[in-house]
Structure 1
Amino acid sequence: MALKRMDNVGIVVEDLEATIDFFLELGLELEGRATIEGEWAGRVTGLGDQHVEVAMMRTPDGHSRLELSRFLRPAVIADHRNAPVNALGYLRAMFTVDNVDDTLERLGTRGAELVGEVVQYKDVYRLCYIRGPGGLLIGLAQELG
């Protein structure tokens, strides 16, 4: 059997509303929200009794999704938001945007901070990393030419 697709990337967040607003400003669309709890959910995740608020965000092309989760129960047990970009494990999402400078300006009103600097890779991309709500690491890429 062949792989069909990747459905989404999950991100656990502290402030669901602020994170939704941030990704809306970036250009993602809110596909839906739900509260997940119950015995079945705990069996899937291995967390037992859980209560989670979830928001599904979709890219404008409809091909990619972020699942934002705020755990009410059980409490979050680890925090890697301040890890450098060479830390092991899932670290960041990268988005292609029309204009990096405009995107930085708009996301700055939502608390985004530039990690290093905006750089140009040959005549192909302008790239940067930013920290969004709760320290989420996000990459931005602007195609050139």
Structure 2
Amino acid sequence: MAKNKLLRMDNVGIVVESLDDAIAFFTEIGLKLEGRATIEGEWAGRVTGLGSQNVELAMMVTPDGHSRLEISRFVSPPTIADHRTAPVNSLGYLRVMFTVEDIDEMVARLRKHGAQLVGEIVQYENSYRLCYIRGTEGLLIGLAEQLNNK
């Protein structure tokens, strides 16, 4: 029997308090809003294990069309934990990393949306300039600028 193979990674999910603020922030990074929807009912809760739920979500897509970010706001049931400001060495899913053309320009633009550098922008060998920022709602975002293509 042939081994089942992975086809693709579909998306990464992030739960937020303000869908509009998150859409604006990730639009500033360069993602495009692919669509918004409300998902509710017992059928959805069978997937998540939460029972009956009401979730507003937005699907954002990268410019190349290959990667998606699903941003969700739970109307019900209410959120029960908040890991947004957890430090980098916390267990579990932590951050999303984006490759950008000009890291300094991107950080300056995101600061206008309240983003703050976690540490500083650093250079890794002759390959990348990297940083972590706290974006909208304290979400941890990684930014990388590839240097060897310049």
Shorter-chain TM-score: what band?
over 0.9
Residue 24 of structure 1 aligns with an amino acid whose one-letter code is: T
Judge conservation of contact 2:38–2:57 (CA < 8 Å) in 1: yes
Query: Normalization by structure 1: what TM-score?
Result: 0.98
Among 67, 71, 75, the residue aligned to 1:68: 71
Judge conservation of contact 2:43–2:52 (CA < 8 Å) in 1: no
Residue 85 of structure 1 aligns with an amino acid whose one-letter code is: V
Among 123, 126, 138, the residue aligned to 1:123: 126
* Deviation digits for residues 58-109 of structure 1 (CA, Å, limit 9, x no counterpart): 0000110000000000010011111110100000000000000000011111
The aligned residue for residue 78 of structure 1 is 81
**Distance in 1 between the 2:82 and 2:97 partners?**
20
Quote the offset at 1:20 in angstroms: 0.2
SS at match of 2:23: helix
Instruction: Map 1:1-145 onto structure 2 (within 5 A).
Output: 1-145=4-148
SS at match of 1:140: strand
Output the aligned Cα RMSD.
0.6
Q: Runs of 5+ in structure 2 lacking a partner?
A: none
**Distance in 1 between the 2:96 and 2:17 partners?**
17
SS at match of 2:133: strand
Percent identity over the alignment?
A: 70
Q: Runs of 5+ in structure 1 lacking a partner?
A: none
- How many residues align? The count is 145
**Distance in 1 between the 2:113 and 2:37 partners?**
24
Query: Normalization by structure 2: what TM-score?
Result: 0.95
**Distance in 1 between the 2:67 and 2:30 partners?**
12
Dislocated runs of 4+, deviation >3 Å: none
**Distance in 2 between the 1:81 and 1:39 partners?**
27
Quote the offset at 1:112 in angstroms: 0.7
SS at match of 1:68: strand
**Distance in 1 between the 2:63 and 2:130 partners?**
20
